[in-house]
Amino acid sequence: MAYGTLERSPPPFFRQGPSALTRLLLFAALAVLLMALDVRFKVTPMLRQGLSVVIYPLQRIAQTPVNGVRQLSDYLEAPAKAQAEIGRLQRANVALSLQAQLEAQLRLENNRLRALLRLQQSQPPQSVAAQISAQASDPFSRAVQINRGSLQGVELGSPVIDETGLLGQVTRDYPWSAEVTLITDRDAVVPVQNQRTGERGVLYGEPGMGQGGMELRWMPAAADVRVGDLLVTSGVDGIYPAGLRVARVTSVTRQRDTAFARVMCAPIADVEGGRHVLVLKPLTPLVAAPATDKGKSQAKPAAAASAMPAASASREVGGK
């Protein structure tokens, strides 16, 4: 065979398309474009909704082995847990028997006082029972997924509680699921009230505390705050019902060079290992914010907007 007739092109196995750097730049530009469209022009929410509907069956299939193992474990541990739960409930029944006997009389007196003052009767909020199905995929936020969505009555801004206290707030809803931002998230803001003194404040998520904690900010250094104080929702934001247990004060640091005390708190609810939750209906309907061209409207829990006036007022009090 003549030398000029030899095949000089590389075999198909060694042929390559665009270089790795070119593909990296292409996908990076595509990612930046999608983020810009999502933040500035709100183009991708409908795409996210559609993808959620499409991949929901795949999620359920992927969770089937885990759910099966969990159900088998619960079935094997059910007798011992049932006995322990019966004992605990019997002790609680004895402890609450006196309160149950006095409850009717107290309610009657409360209704009479409300009638005298012409106050509106307080009604229990509507709720939807749900279970935590997965952790949120975003590593920079503290959020969980629940197995109830807009088709079951879950609304944006709905408070989420467990058997001990406030757990978080619904920040994204899908047809069959919803995303709940925990109260320990760095963007979470909850208007609270000190149950012992009645003083109101604003509780922020504190991401720098490892397992998750909270900080009661803008409290004057002379404020009556003690370790062990219980903080409950104040109800002034129109989102959270008043009286829900939120956190307990764990440390109070007062320094001479600042007008505010550093108050650290621990959440009452089981933000790390809870499973069964209750989704409450917000006290007032949540109105979606209008789209903005400046890209500064990052998705945050709805109660943050209502809590800002309280934070500003607290700053003014501290400055005086």
DSSP letter string over 52-109? HHHHHHHHHHHHHHHHHHHHHHHHHHHHHHHHHHHHHHHHHHHHHHHHHHHHHHHHHH
Model confidence over 169-227: pLDDT tens digits? 999 989 999 999 999 998 899 999 999 999 999 999 876 655 568 999 989 988 899 99
Q: What separation, in Å, do the N-terminal and C-terminal C-alpha atoms of the chain show?
A: 98
Tally Cβ neighbours within 10 Å of residue 299: 14
Phi-psi region of 170 (alpha: psi -120 to 50; beta: other; left: phi over 0): beta
Query: How confident is the prediction along the chain (320 residues), in pLDDT tens digits per residue?
Result: 555 555 556 555 555 677 888 889 999 999 888 888 777 777 677 777 888 888 888 888 888 888 888 888 888 888 888 888 888 888 788 777 767 666 777 887 887 777 777 655 556 678 889 999 888 767 678 899 999 999 999 999 999 998 888 999 999 989 999 999 999 998 899 999 999 999 999 999 876 655 568 999 989 988 899 999 999 999 888 889 888 999 999 999 988 888 899 999 999 998 888 788 999 988 776 665 555 444 443 444 544 444 444 444 333 334 43
CATH 2.40.10.350 fits 134-285+301-320, yes or no: yes
Q: Over the stretch 136-146, which tens digit does the pLDDT of each residue have?
A: 767 678 899 99
From CA 11, how far away is CA 108, in angstroms rounded? 91
**Residue extents of the structural domains in the chain:** 134-285+301-320
Calculate the CA dihedral of residues 100, 103, 105, 111 and round it to 10 degrees: -160
The Cα 318–Cα 320 span in angstroms is 5
